[in-house]
Structure 1
Amino acid sequence: MIKVLVVDDHPVVRDGLTSMFAQDPAFEVVGEAANGEEAVRRTRALKPDVVLMDLRMPGTDGLAATRELADTAHVLVLTTYDNDADVVAAIEAGATGYLLKDAPRDELVRAVKATARGEAVLAPAAAALLMKRVRTEAVPVLSPRELEVLKCVAAGATNRDVAKSLFITEATVKSHLLNIYAKLEVSDRAAAVTEAFHRGLLVPKISP
């Protein structure tokens, strides 16, 4: 069972999300928070598998809370804002994923399950914004570090395995993966590996 903490300053939103996950036996909502400070405190006390984090909240906002929790929790940003500054800021803060509140229920459920596994998740709109930003900044190929991360993923490594292998944090792995998705114009790790082979960035091993 995946334990979820719902963070949003609007009670109606919290109630809706809590009710939705309560109806699914795969999830347990262990708590709620109305701001970033409360989110940090309750995450440390309740140890959820996934923190559903709103960005804009009074007091300590979602970005600040995500930054504090990046190395101790899987944070899935769930927001109405889809501008590139927010997307990049959330990723740099250490969010595992970024999803919009108008996402269909099934997409949200899949995203939370993927986040619980430590897999990077990116809404199509957010991916498009990152892609546009990458193109604007004229970064056409993967950096050496991003290629190392992708090689590990292609070999079947989890985010934790990649972090241990490259001596970086899981939050850094997630950030690299989201950058890779944007550069390769894909939305998940399997598609990233496939596209990398297609572009010749990865070369299949030939058995003797």
Structure 2
Amino acid sequence: MLNPPIRLSVNASTGQKVTVSIIGLLFLGVLAGIAGVAALALGRSDPEFRALPAFESGAGAFPALAVRAVFAVAALLMIGFLVTMVLGTYRRQAILSGTVLEVRGLLGTRRADLATSRVWIDSEPEYVRNPHGEGTIPTGRRVPHLMAEDPATGRKVRLRLHSMARTLLPPHELNALADAVGSGTRPEPDAAQATRTATLLRRLADDPIARLL
């Protein structure tokens, strides 16, 4: 009997999705209000501009047109950022079905059979928002990733082993990934690398000290 698919804890929680949705709606409301006020102010400040042809560059037409163009570009950029944030929050998820890992992102979905792929653990420094200013600062920790590469196509799948709360995935999920990695057969040196990867995944799942790194 096949094990049911496991939805890994890399996706946003229901509360996070609701929060992002509310922020998005509030942002759109504020942006719409600003756009209305700006359009009203420009229309009243230059009544002669409304009677000019669209491409006529009179003394008062160019400044008003430039302001409208700048505002439109800024609004499009902000809306694009908002849409990317909301869609990324809703689409991001990872599912382990048997030995097949499926990682969904903003731009598409990638799959890898962990029983046959080349697998290894990689990591990157962790950064958080600077509470005292702009930009980000390092926390001193490293975020582990499970990497899987199809030996035939070279296509790679990358799974962040941290949840949205910046904690390691639950032990049962890490052990399930380790079981999937260790269930297949590969030629050397990929087989030895898979064994090391499965061992490290189980260590991350079972070692309290490792879970604090």
Calculate the TM-score normalised by the size of structure 1.
Answer: 0.26
Highest RCO, 1 vs 2 (Cα 8 Å, sep ≥ 6): 2
Considering fraction of residues, name the structure with more helix: 1
Considering fraction of residues, name the structure with more strand: 2
Q: Which has the larger radius of gyration?
A: 2
